[in-house]
Structure formats: structure tokens, C-alpha cells
Structure 1
């Protein structure tokens, strides 16, 4: 384990995607993970027979191929399947009322007709007309074609004809989504709804979310006959598939291996030093899947220019999470219980306001293997709207911490009680996660959801760094928060290291 070609720091979805693809390319790669479980923010864990997801709960584009979802493309490249259950409906508890909505082109128009009337329906259909060509443009250049060297001329060149046809729209996609809807959408409910979708995509409202992210979502969610996916086994099954792809091609995963420092020799990253003093040398590259802020902590003083450090340290950050993980008795619950619910308490506060949006996932309604017979597993969370400052300096296991957990967790209980009124009496397992939990177990700076780089006000830095031999992947390097974005980032880092001819072969296999 002391010598390899590439060391990847962190086994989040970005790091595993990078490592698995490198192994597929025949490159000797070692992924080192501080935690005892692989998967980063997507890892799963078990308590008393209940299988919990620490992060993702909404998946699409995974159950068919070829797919525009970069994560599906990674799985295709490494030859791993991911059996899924399909569904198309989730519940909404909004200030205007409670309703079920579906992916697909028309059902939301029925909701708008009931809530807002014909004018709102006409505005939504106009937006769909505008977004249809933008959606095609958003998938004209797959992230799988990107690499950060001159080889990109060849790999991106395969898609040049499609890009030229979409040139005018591609320019529109680089700005904030609010520019697309200004003058088109005047209905306040639709504006709020689009802000909510943008927040769930990027952690920012429409004015801060790059239009390409929303166009990609519209292309996927609002096409005819579309369905969403839930992997059998949850996010743990997804992590397992990537780990299999890594190890079957000769890659290595080392758990409980906390990186203290990136080794630098002659102004080049050449490996890592672990907390136990062990050094792992890398002859080709070091790839950090840690956040932008946490990666900086691993770089020795003087190894990168001061201006780079200052710029990266100043990257704005999204807030953190509160989590409620429950294992419950499901006796006499409604048979039509949904897998997902979105709760918005007050539009006037804005979707990014602390604890204003609460998400609920009950994946065992689709995948009973996640809970014992007659039980359900539930994940409730506030998605990137819990300020870290409230928790900073508080000692874990202190009475103050326990009291704050109870106080800040109440909004999640109240949201869930709108779905299951007697939920508190049904609980057999109750776990509460906080920003300090994120910071501790995921090694996340301030337990952050990721960078809050607003469209038009900054660019994601990509895979490269000023330190030769050091590349980065993960949510700090590619627009969008969530599985597709981090998988794309890992793919791009791996492709940058791989020979161009192998990269072209991969594109022919997964994008044809």
C-alpha cells in the first residue's frame, strides 16, 4: 500500500467515481477514507435492523442507459448495474395547501389550474417551451467528455457539431436561471416553486443557480413518461457498486485512514501522510475529494501561492443540515404513504431561510429490505439551511448540546407530524444529526452542504490546482450539489489523468 500511481483522498461519490474509473483505465489507484464506512455524505449505516441513508434520497436517470446522468455513465463505464424501483409522485405541504405532484409534462398544470388558474397554467407552458431547447443544449456536451489538458480538443471535439447547433442556447445557460424566467413568469406561486427547485439543486434560489442546472433538471423531470428511481438497498447499494467497480479492476480502498498532509517534493504532490505516520507515495497524481476548505488544510505551507489560498478560503459556503433518522412501527399506516414529501413553512422568508424547508424520505415504502417486517425507516432533514454558527463552540455530549438538538429538531418532528400525526409514539430508533455530526463524521468544514457560488458571481474551480500533481473532485469543483455533480467531477479528474486514447474509447462506449 506504500506505493501507487494515484491516491484519492476521500471515498465520497466523487472520490469513488474517480477511483473506479482510474482502475477501469488500468491505473493503480488507492482511495483512502478517514471514516470506517465508505461513501462520504452518501454512506449508509444500520441500527437495530434499520438501514439509514446519511444523505441522498432523490435519484433520477439511474435506471436506464444511455443516460445523461453522469453517475449512470460512471456505472456503465465500470460495468456495474444498480437495480432500481421506479415511481413518479411525491407529496407537497406548502402554504397554498397540500397536494401530490408528479414528474412529467402535464400533471403540474392540473395543480396550477386548481391553485392559481388559467393564467398560471399559460405561464408554465410558456416556460416549458423555452426550456425544451435549453434542456437539449444542457446535455449536448456530456461531462464525461471533459478533461483539463489539451486532450480535451479531441474528446470534446466529438460533440462539436451538436454544440455549434446549440451555441446560442449554451450562452444562455451560463447565467443565472432568474434571467430565463424574468418577464416570463409573474405568478408568485410559480416563482416560489422554481426558487424551491433551484434551492434543492444548488443550495441557492433562482437568482444564484446557473441556468444549465435547471435546464438539465427540466430535460429529465418534465419529459413524457419519465420516472424517478430508488436504488434497491438505498445509497449503500450505490456506494457498494462503486466500490466493486474500484476493487474488481485492482483499485484499493483503505478505511480508517485519515490524511494529515499531502506530501510535496520539488513543487509537486507526490503522496499523502496518514495520521498514524504512514506515507503513501503516488507516482502520477493525488486527487482530493475533500471540500475546498478541507483540502487547503492538507497542503503544506508555501506549496501553493498565497493568492490561491486566500481565494479558496473565501469561497462562500452553504449552511449545514439537521437530520432526524427514525425506525418506526408501521402498523395501520395508510397504504398510499409516499416515499418523499417537501414541507415549506413560509414563502415570505425565502427558501434559504433557516429551517424553512424540510424534506422527508420514507424509502422503505418502495424498498422493504431497509426495515424489519412491519416497520418503516424515515429520514427527515433540513437541506442546507441550518447555520453552523448556532452550534460552533458547543461541546458534544454536553447538556447544552442535547437541549439544542431537541430545540432545533422540533421543526422536523412538526413537519413529519403533518404526514404521520402519531409519529412520536411509533419510534423504535431515534437519531438526531447536527452540523457538528456532519463536521465530525464527514470531515466537512462547518458541516457545510457545499460551496454557495452564485451564478454570474464566480466560477467553480474545476479539477486543477496550482500545485503540480494535485487534482480535486467533489462538490467544490463542479456546479450543482448532489450525486450527478460529484460523479461528474470524479469522472473529469480521472479522465484528466488517463491517456486520451482510453478516454475516447470510454466515450464511445457510454455516449453512443
Structure 2
């Protein structure tokens, strides 16, 4: 038996953000991670000298401070730098044509003028005007100021005057983004484009994505002089920074440590039982960074009411992923090739249709250290549109499984051929990941991208559970699937364990 103050189950970005900040606040924290690599869906791995990102490929708001990105706020709070490479352009392969676009407003207007004419540009400019006060409202209250107790009155108080002034806009942020789009946009291409952005942010189209998520994106992506970021060393460097912040303040990360059950005594979470039979006790509680469905699997049957269990079990999941990780010969690639590309096959199918949207990332174009000399690392994936049902009855390593991997990955190869026509002659390493891969290595229910909770119809539940001393963080607790959202969930929960003086001092140090 081993003792600590707080146990965090899972080392995803939400769990690591929470744990690193708890350690910064002086608490004794132990993170239990079942995988051999930290980082959850954002971990990186190596094959034959190639370093692959397992998940996220687009980052922003990480290269300057103060930043509205909660993940950057966590890194600044724990004092861990994250060197980044800046860029602003990515490639698009859409039904209307192929083009490069960039963050910032003006260049996209040029694209719109070419594709749709001046009326479309006027609509986009009008949307920007509508979104400007909403974007300002979306960052008026930084997540770093929030905590989940009555002391939030004190930490949020300094931001209250600005929030009151923006109260009308704040109310609009609680609804669906489509409510705003419907008032401004009639051009079909712009509506499709906004659906695409929403899908990449939340796994849902504009009808299900909260206005707050899109307002935050507008605040970040369409401001003057904006650049996108890529961490030097890839997503693994980001994970390493959070782990350093955890360990330098006495926190512990235990890899290959699979939690079998959360221990509950008299409605109090008191620790965890591990698969190897060991027990870890926690004097102040347990925090689950697992998904809502996977957290339920860890609870004793009699620990919560059947009604609460059923309600949580019915949380709708987004679909899963297919991944294609490639190491290739990089000779004679175009010198101006963008590092990221978005491919949409058919708008009319709907943005969430299976295998309709494909993303391509070639991060070694920015950071050559991710591949051997003369080579490149490529990550192609279908972002949350691969049905788990197509895989659920297959056995890993069976002939049927291998055949399905080959068949279902063809759409990714076809997308990649738009960008590198002779890709088939360049392959050094080729790996296909499926929903079963997600389920196995990330311990994700159905290999899911996260909850598909629709804005305006249901709310994310936050960190609380019916069990005293058991909290949750991660994508099942806070709107948005990307790294900023899960980092925010972990930061807000960690703040709750800090004294008000500690919390206020942190806000002052972050210049928020």
C-alpha cells in the first residue's frame, strides 16, 4: 500500500495539466497511467528513427504570453517553456478547388473573392464584425481564474466588471454557433467552411458546437499578425513539459500502472486498486482523467445510483479515428509545401459523414528532427468520423482485421496523393491505427473522440460526481475536444484545491 494526497487516473493533457498545477500548489500527487507512454491521445512514439504525433497536429496560442490558450496558461503557471515554430499556411482540397489558406482575416477574403465573389466577402466581413464582441467576451474570463467552490467569487471578482459590460455577448456564447451563422451567412461555401471548423473543434457541425468555442477560435485565429504554432519536438515535447512541471514539484508519474477500480468507502473515494493487486490510498481524493464511460467502469456497482450511472452511460460519443503514420523519402518535395492539409470529399454528405474529412500533417517540414536526414514524418487521419461498429466484431491481428485496415485506409492514401502524387514510391514506414487501436492503447470507450454533447441541448457536467472526493477532468467535463479545453478542465479543478491566496498570486504572476 502506498499513500498520497491526490491520485490522478490517466496522463492525458487534462490529467497532466491538473496534476502539474496541483504539484505546483504544493500537494502530493501521483498520476497513474496504464500506457508505457504519457500523454493520452496527445502522446508521441518512435519507429525506425521517425517520431510520430499520435493525435493533435494544429496548435495556436502557445508562443506568447499572456495567452488566451488555457494550455499556455498552465505551462506558464508551472514555469515550463515550450519552444515553438511559427507558421500560418495550410493547404485545402475542397469540392470548390485546391488552394492554400492561412490564419488571419485578409487572405481568406482573397480566397472567398476568387471562389464566391464579392458578396461572399461582404458576408464574411459582417460575420467578423458580429464575432468581434463575442470573441472579446469569450476571453473576458480566463479559465485560470475559475475554481469550483465559493471562493470563485474572489478569484473571478476582478474580472466581473468586464463580464458585466459584456453580459449580452456572454449570454449569446451559451447557445449554438449556428444561431449566429443563420443570422449572418447565406453563402453555402462559407456555411460549409464554418461547419468544417466546428467539426475540427468539437466533433460536431455548427448546429451542435457552442458559440463560445467558435468565438474563442475567432479571437485566436483571426486577429492581426496571428501565427500558428508547432512545438519543437512535436506533441511529445508538450507532454514532456507538463511531466517536468509535475516532477520538479514532487509529483509522481507511474507508467504501466493500470487502475482496476476506484476504492470507495462510505461514499468517499479513498484510493485505487491496481491491476497488479497493489493499492494506492489518497487522503484528499481521486481525479479521473478517463472518459465518462471509462470512469464508470472503474466504480464499484453499488458506489453510485443506477439512475446516475445510466444517465452518464447514455452520454452520446463522437465516432473514432483512422490513422496512417508514414515515414517517407523526402527528396524533391515542393519547397513551399505546407505542413498541414485539409481534404473534404463532399459537402453534401454532411461534414460528419464517415471518411468525408481527412487531415494530413507533415510536421517534419517544420521540425526536421522528427525524421532521419532526407526523410519526412507524415500523419494522416480521419478526425472523429470512423464508426466503431465497423470494427467492434473484428479480432486484432486476424486476417479480416488486416483486410479491413487496408480497405478503410484507402481514403487516406487517396487524400495524400493529392499532396504527394508519387507517395507510393517513397514509403519507409507505414502504420495504420484503427478504433481498436484507440480503444486498446488509450483506454477509450469505443475508441471515441469524446462526448458529442450538443450545444443548446445539454451541458457538460463539470468535475463533480456523487462520490465525495471523486472528481473528473478532461473532454467529458468541459466543452471542446481540443487541447485548450482539456487543459482548462484540469486547471480549473486544480485551482479548487489551492488556497485563495495561492490562486490570486498565480493570476497576478500570469498577468491575467
Counterpart of 1:246? 246
| Offset at residue 425 of structure 1 (A) | 1.3
Contact 1:327 1:427 survives alignment (8 Å): yes
Counterpart of 1:297? 297
| Offset at residue 401 of structure 1 (A) | 0.0
Q: Distance in 1 between matches of 2:285 and 2:132?
A: 40
Counterpart of 1:53? 53
Counterpart of 1:434? 434
Counterpart of 2:332? 332
Residues 1:388 and 2:388 are matched in the alignment = yes
Counterpart of 1:206? 206
For each residue in 1:122-175, what CA deviation from the matched residue of structure 2 results, as whole angstroms up to 9, or x when unmatched? Answer: 000000000011000000011111111111111111210110011000000000
| Offset at residue 285 of structure 1 (A) | 1.3
Counterpart of 1:369? 369
Residues 1:168 and 2:162 are matched in the alignment = no
Q: Distance in 2 between matches of 1:186 and 1:308?
A: 42
Q: Distance in 1 between matches of 2:308 and 2:219?
A: 36
Helix, strand or coil for the counterpart of 1:106? helix
Unaligned runs of at least 5 residues, structure 1: none
Q: Distance in 2 between matches of 1:302 and 1:348?
A: 47
For each residue in 1:284-328, what CA deviation from the matched residue of structure 2 results, as whole angstroms up to 9, or x when unmatched? Answer: 010000000000010111212222111110101100000000000
Counterpart of 1:316? 316
Q: Distance in 2 between matches of 1:424 and 1:5?
A: 53
Q: Distance in 1 between matches of 2:480 and 2:334?
A: 35
Contact 1:93 1:342 survives alignment (8 Å): yes
Of residues 297-306 and 198-207 in structure 1, the stretch that sits farther from structure 2 once superposed is 297-306
Unaligned runs of at least 5 residues, structure 2: none
Q: Distance in 1 between matches of 2:420 and 2:20?
A: 41
Q: Distance in 1 between matches of 2:118 and 2:336?
A: 30
For each residue in 1:325-347, what CA deviation from the matched residue of structure 2 results, as whole angstroms up to 9, or x when unmatched? Answer: 00000111111111100000000
| Structural RMSD (CA) | 0.7
Name segments (4+ residues, structure 1) moved above 6 Å: none
Contact 1:463 1:492 survives alignment (8 Å): no
Q: Distance in 2 between matches of 1:181 and 1:255?
A: 45
Contact 1:287 1:493 survives alignment (8 Å): no
The number of equivalent residue pairs is 512
For each residue in 1:45-75, what CA deviation from the matched residue of structure 2 results, as whole angstroms up to 9, or x when unmatched? Answer: 0000000000010000000000000000000
Q: Distance in 2 between matches of 1:467 and 1:457?
A: 26
For each residue in 1:383-431, what CA deviation from the matched residue of structure 2 results, as whole angstroms up to 9, or x when unmatched? Answer: 0000000001210000000000001000000000000011011010000
Counterpart of 2:18? 18
Counterpart of 1:397? 397
Counterpart of 2:68? 68
Q: Distance in 2 between matches of 1:277 and 1:498?
A: 32
Counterpart of 1:84? 84
Counterpart of 2:147? 147
Q: Distance in 1 between matches of 2:24 and 2:285?
A: 16
For each residue in 1:21-50, what CA deviation from the matched residue of structure 2 results, as whole angstroms up to 9, or x when unmatched? Answer: 000000000001000000000000000000
What is the TM-score when the length of structure 2 is the normalising length? Answer: 0.99
Helix, strand or coil for the counterpart of 2:194? helix
Counterpart of 2:349? 349
Residues 1:191 and 2:191 are matched in the alignment = yes
| Offset at residue 500 of structure 1 (A) | 2.2
Helix, strand or coil for the counterpart of 1:239? helix
Structure 1 residues 269-308: aligned runs within 5 Å: 269-308=269-308
Q: Distance in 1 between matches of 2:183 and 2:3?
A: 58
